[in-house]
Amino acid sequence: MQVEVFPRDQTAYWFGIGSQNLVKADGSFELPEIAPGEYTVHAKLFDEHRMYSTQQDVDVTTSDIEGLVLVIGQGSTIPGEVRWEGTPQVLRNDLRVYLESEQSVYGYGSAAPVDQSGQFTLKEVSDGTYRVAFTDLGKDCYIKEVHYGEALLPDVEFRVRGTGENLEIHVDCAGARLEGSVLNKDGLPATGAWVVVVPEESKRKFFRLFKSQLTDQYGHFEIHGLAPGKYKIFSWDDIERGSWEDPEFLKLYEDKGETVEVQDGDKKTVELNLIPPKDGDAKTD
């Protein structure tokens, strides 16, 4: 069993700031030297190749927290349905819905196939916070809206506690397309460069809206399935994948991005110049 602590203001914090891998035989644990702040305590248990977990929010002040009880159960069953807007671009029997877990190094919480009528059932979902995702929606489709019980989820993110509610996922298959090419400092096609579409600043906590692709041997790119909205497009060479999800990283290049606004069904062309990395940026090996 493992117990970890995560800051609540980190939306994609994969590793806890404090952990205790070996909980004592009586189930007790102690996490020392945790600074004041708002946290989520996450406990997980591995049993026969499955992981069960639970979590609880705590507010740490200058005083110790004692008597915290975390109860790990067998998990919840969550029934659900996918509703399509437009024509699905994948075979219905090939589609799988899964839950991405913020506090799991495995990155997922449960998965299930979607049947011909759009129905699915997620089983043994541990208590925790999850985002909804799919194995492959088709290149022009995007998750438009998600309901969990009576709640409309702002970032397809929801929290499971004790019992599961109905999960309804609306998918739109008329997403916008962007294509174009990237040139290096010599005016030649930039091969193998990252092209990244970043939503406007107020929506950057919604990682599902980010899109990225490497240019081909001609410096060309084509990105599909963009939800309506305003974006900035960047292109970097020799940069670590996912660096652009760090707000501090993006601040360094904010004025280098090309601005574009799209609606459903749009097809737009953008020409980009390769952005050289600044000193200290994380680069690929």
Question: Which whole-number Å values give the CA distances from 52 to 75, 94, 159, in the listed order?
Answer: 7, 27, 15
Q: In tens digits, what is the pLDDT along the chain, a chain of 285 residues? A: 778 787 876 544 444 455 555 577 777 888 888 888 888 787 777 776 666 677 778 888 888 888 888 777 677 899 999 999 877 766 556 789 988 876 554 445 688 999 888 999 998 887 778 888 888 788 899 999 999 999 898 777 788 877 789 999 999 999 999 999 999 999 999 999 999 999 998 888 777 889 999 999 999 999 999 999 999 999 998 888 889 988 999 999 999 999 999 999 999 999 999 998 765 454 544
Report the alpha-carbon distance of residue 238 to residue 236 in Å, rounded: 7
- Cβ count within 10 A of residue 226: 23
Instruction: Quote the tokens at residue 193.
Output: 């460069």
Sequence ranges of the domains in the chain:
2-60, 76-172, 176-273
pLDDT, position 202:
86
Q: How many residues does the chain have?
A: 285
Q: Is residue 156 helix, strand or coil?
A: coil
The enclosing H or E element of 249 equals helix 247-251
Superfamily of domain 176-273: Carboxypeptidase-like, regulatory domain (2.60.40.1120)
From the number of C-beta atoms within 10 Å of its C-beta (0-12, 13-18, 19+), residue 194 rates as buried
Contacts of 21 (CB under 8 A, 6+ apart): 2
pLDDT, position 13:
43
The model carries a pTM of 0.73
Superfamily of domain 76-172: Immunoglobulins (2.60.40.10)
pLDDT, position 280:
45
Greatest extent of the chain over all pairs of C-alpha atoms, in Å: 66
